[in-house]
Amino acid sequence: MSMERREFITNSMVAPLATSLIASTAAAASDEGSQARPAPGRKILVAGGGFNTAFIRYMAEVTGKPRPKLLYLPTASADSQSGVITWYRNCATLNVEPSHQISFIASTAQDKSWEEVFLSVDGIVCSGGNTLNQQAIWKAQGIDVILKQAWDRGIVLGGASAGSLCWFEEGTTDSRPKDLSTVQCLGFLKGSHSPHYDAEPGRRPLYQKLIGSGQMKPGYACDNDAGIYFEDNTVKRVVSARVGAKVYYVSLENGKVVEKVMEPDHIA
């Protein structure tokens, strides 16, 4: 066999083999890289009261999307139409795709499952209102389970008042007759929460009393227009949309209630 023929046969066999090996190596590296990539961070943005345009804008930034889909869930307000209108008004100047989902639905009018609705957006903002009723409806409808899936997938969750309290283990609420009381919530965020810390006179003394007596876990109190951005259960940033609005970490140290101020960054 001539030298030229031997080289042709060798090259014709080696070249495809080399190409195959390179492709396999690249695929393996790609698979390894995808396995090594961390899962989307679990994100929650809460405010003590007033999840207004400034907070919606910040949520949009946190999603990392150029034009995020943000959904409003007004269960706690009994699907208040005025709240829905305010939601769209607050989103009007922002580069977002706003939508809303009511909870008082009929099968004949609701053609998408909860999974299809909540897992197709980039952020979910829950309204203020009656936290106790909100939790009961979510559990009855299975919405609580889908919200956990959304959180695990990196969909940003948030809200103010009932819309902030709902993500914690427990907190103070005005959901029952006559007096402020306690409510058990979803527990995505560990510890307790008190919204409206500067806006409703009874909030601060009750929260401190409950933590001081051991009836409630330590946690975060937010003034109206002030809030916290969490990744998993880590505070990543404290923010406010109003000068003077603050966030506090309230705990029990050496038998005494300690209220530590967490100075916020201003957002507009």
Q: Which residues are catalytic?
A: 161, 196
For tokens 């910040």, the residue is: 58
**Would you report the helix, strand and coil content of the chain in percent, each value rounded to 5?**
35, 25, 35
Please check whether residue 97 is in contact with residue 63, taking contact to mean a CB–CB distance below 8 angstroms: no
**What does DSSP say about strands 43-47 and 219-222: parallel, antiparallel, or unpaired?**
unpaired
Distance CA 53, CA 82 (A): 16
* 115's tokens: 């999974």
**Sign for the pseudo-dihedral over CA of 221, 224, 229, 230:** positive
Indicate the DSSP class of residue 186.
Answer: -
Distance CA 200, CA 190 (A): 24
Q: 6: which strand partners?
A: none
Please check whether residue 35 is in contact with residue 73, taking contact to mean a CB–CB distance below 8 angstroms: no
| 177 C-beta neighbours (distance < 10 Å), count | 6
